[in-house]
Structure 1
């Protein structure tokens, strides 16, 4: 990268980043984006703000706030947004696509090992230790999101009420997730009007750190918004039309080849709906995916869903990529291309699910970014989202209870009935302490629990 001096004592102005250089970075990011949304955002901040200085701290956080207001994986959308801001539409497509593709290929490979060899003793032993770790990770998500959203019970009793009622709705009453989201948004809209103090300054990402001194940023605080990022009705119409075609053509092909009731067609439609409901991240939509994929369509079982989340936690990319595992296992079980093409059918199902899950995320950024920017900070717009975020706390809490129940209550060996697996609960407790008390990273915790599961199973203790 070249720079030109602007005068003594002044910062240098870097030359624009070439598309090829950006392509190398987005490719690298796709393989190192571990740690969930927080870790992925931290990686991008370190690389793009502190080291490469492609975008300033303020502009980075402004872009991130866009993504926090949208359904979908915020880290992937942030990459899409920055790529779009720097290199127009193709820059956004490349940045967002490369954030997902490495994870898709890795998950297809791991899902094949799981589907074809999941009953092998050592593989089962590894998953015995990983499942409690996943339960602890979900508990950590409840703690983080709850701590950010529900800080003061006396000051925000309505938000606490939304969280508790959402937990009851999902865990006890089995109310579908979309209705929970809609009700929380309605309460938020009402509260933003009549109780604004409780909904002001909703959950989000912020930073008090000032930008480090050094070379100027390519996209600085006062860099004018490029022409392609400004709102134009004609551009919005083009993006919406292109997005509609990118949805209709694959869906039409699935209906023509599989029928309206075919497994692949059902997956495409179901995960399109799921993509519209991912306010609050992957953990928030997982109960909806569970209700549909496990209970309604029977693409996989509850324990398999936990295994899929474990694989998603150990691979780079957005956590919502667990849907690729759901698609693969569902395509394998339903033999979507016949019994002689199990892998091809399962890989196709994983690809179909990924396409319909992430297509809306690209459209939200490419079409809606300028519109969301115009409404950022408007309480009438953010209060419903604060209500949804509060509901997310309760929804994720129900997911944690579901996971803990599935690892703790297991069939009794050699007898009818069930028993409590105290060893699995001990692993979950140790993982929770490591995550919450000692701030150990997700990958070391999962690796340690996997090795513990292997050792305990092989020794006959578990």
Structure 2
């Protein structure tokens, strides 16, 4: 029996317009994007209830990869099936991909110009401050017990000693599982908004479960086979056409691994990508990685889209496919495809199981352990960025004191004053241009 105040069903065309709009305006990182989706989907439009939204959010938080994009995919799938999930997830990414490819091209053309260098000089302290802000946010939300603080410190030491990122995550998950039994800590999902509206939603708790969300072994197997098949065909075709040692083949394999092994959001992925892309493959330098993160922060959509910049720079520098620009665009698209494909598989294959059970085994302990370890990993990334910003020559005695002061200012504005990211980026860019003018 329908509720008299429940909103009318949402058409697929109406949802498409919303997902495209969201992909163009979702600045502010995963926490801001999750809060924005809550405001639009739960509070303002009442397309989905608070409980269903949080149920989807909790599932996405347990997955590797970009949780905000996965949450959009899950919600789109819940509303309109497979086509809805694919449309929501793709439109959450495509605007930022197109914009970042354009910015990457501009970076290769004007990045070495004096004014371009001045602009980037101002943005690098902001990037370091943004990573510090991410550490601060995660620490406030996660480190609720002494053993979590100790785990974060241990992961930082592990990174300094050169311990592999997957081993840190595995050890943290095992320790978190053990500690949760003896000293449980209440989990607080980040990005979750406040009170639910009193009025019911289109997809409310008492709404009959849509047919496409019903779980079956056959449906799960088909979704898994389709996802794995797409991955195998795409990577196999690249390897067959270009060879297994080609850069595009290496990028496809590496970013698949990245999508599967990194938990904790975009800032958890970045140390892993930076270490491999800079030191192992040489696709770009550490300084260029910082510049790419600054460009990624200035675009809407998931922050992990910065991997498209990594791909573009690698393809451009090696002039893949015989042309720097064409090689950069191809590499950026390949990297984006293999980074986000697993997220679609996780949602479209696992969504029916989650909706059918509505009760998941308690994974709060492993998740808390992983998140605490990620804090140490991200703090190590902040130290790496600070080193390249304040000591660009690599010598302790040759510090760039204005860069250090600007880093401190940006961190204070973000953490203490809680300024929006775009405003801080604009301030730092203006300071950089002003220093060049002086």
TM-score between both structures, scaled by the size of structure 2? 0.96
Deviation, structure 1 residue 253: 1.1
Deviation, structure 1 residue 176: 1.7
Aligned positions of 1:22-101 closer than 5 A: 22-101=15-94
CA distance in 2, matches of 1:268, 1:64: 28
CA displacement, residues 410-438 of structure 1 (integer Å, 9 cap, x when unaligned): 239xxx99610110111111111111111
CA distance in 1, matches of 2:244, 2:192: 48
Structure 1 residue aligned with 2:195: 210
Aligned positions of 1:297-376 closer than 5 A: 297-338=281-322, 341-372=323-354, 374=357, 376=359
CA displacement, residues 65-109 of structure 1 (integer Å, 9 cap, x when unaligned): 111111111111111011000000000000000000001100100
CA distance in 2, matches of 1:311, 1:84: 30
> Quick check: 1:163 aligned with 2:152?
yes
Deviation, structure 1 residue 11: 4.9
> Quick check: 1:444 aligned with 2:426?
no
CA distance in 1, matches of 2:193, 2:238: 49
When residues 446 and 208 of structure 1 are mapped into structure 2, their CA distance, relative to the original with a 3 A threshold, is closer
Aligned positions of 1:186-205 closer than 5 A: 186-193=174-181, 195=182, 197-198=183-184, 200-205=185-190
**Aligned partner of 1:378 among 353, 361, 364:** 361
Structure 2 residue aligned with 1:425: 404
Structure 1 residue aligned with 2:5: 12
CA displacement, residues 111-149 of structure 1 (integer Å, 9 cap, x when unaligned): 001112210111111110101001001000000001111
When residues 163 and 427 of structure 1 are mapped into structure 2, their CA distance, relative to the original with a 3 A threshold, is same
Structure 2 residue aligned with 1:179: 167
When residues 429 and 97 of structure 1 are mapped into structure 2, their CA distance, relative to the original with a 3 A threshold, is same
Gaps of 5+ in 1: none
Deviation, structure 1 residue 162: 1.3
> Quick check: 1:284 aligned with 2:271?
no
Higher radius of gyration, 1 or 2 = 1
Is residue 320–residue 326 contact of structure 2 (8 Å, CA) maintained in 1?
no
Is residue 73–residue 89 contact of structure 2 (8 Å, CA) maintained in 1?
yes
Is residue 410–residue 418 contact of structure 1 (8 Å, CA) maintained in 2?
no
Structure 1 residue aligned with 2:389: 407
TM-score between both structures, scaled by the size of structure 1? 0.91
CA displacement, residues 305-329 of structure 1 (integer Å, 9 cap, x when unaligned): 0001001100001000000000000
Is residue 32–residue 191 contact of structure 2 (8 Å, CA) maintained in 1?
no
Structure 2 residue aligned with 1:263: 247
Q: Tell me the SS of whatever aligns to 2:306.
A: helix
CA distance in 1, matches of 2:108, 2:397: 26
User: When the two structures are aligned, how many residues end up with a matched partner?
Assistant: 437
The alignment's C-alpha RMSD in Å is: 1.9
Gaps of 5+ in 2: none
Is residue 256–residue 339 contact of structure 2 (8 Å, CA) maintained in 1?
yes
> Quick check: 1:275 aligned with 2:259?
yes
Deviation, structure 1 residue 250: 0.9
Deviation, structure 1 residue 60: 1.3
Is residue 64–residue 205 contact of structure 1 (8 Å, CA) maintained in 2?
no
CA distance in 2, matches of 1:206, 1:111: 30
